[in-house]
Amino acid sequence: MAFHGGKRMFVKHKACRFCADPSLKIDYKEPKPLAVFTSERGKIIPRRISGNCAKHQRILAVAIKRARNIALLPFTNAKIRSREHREY
């Protein structure tokens, strides 16, 4: 958490962080790193926002879906699903 130069506190991830850091593993059995890539509602954050490359985004999406299936991640946090209300 060092602040060098002052102006770059919020650096956008240009490169995919999984490519940048090979030690980062995408594992559906570990939901914590996966949860970073889901919205508050449990939706998978799109690649354009997360900055992941296509390859890792795909792996990530599969991992998140697997994690959902074994109840490590929520399908959605919204309890009311009667209305199809779209955010976008």
Q: Which residues in this chain contact Zn ion in the complex, by CB under 5 A?
A: 16, 18-19, 53, 56
Comparison of 13 and 41: residue with beta carbon closer to Zn ion: 13
Comparison of 15 and 78: residue with beta carbon closer to Zn ion: 15
Smallest distance, Zn ion to C-beta of residue 53, A: 3
Smallest distance, Zn ion to C-beta of residue 74, A: 25
DSSP class per residue in 9-71: SS----S-HHHH-TT----TT-HHHHHTTB-TTSPBPPHHHH---HHHHHHHHHHHHHHHHTT
Smallest distance, Zn ion to C-beta of residue 71, A: 27
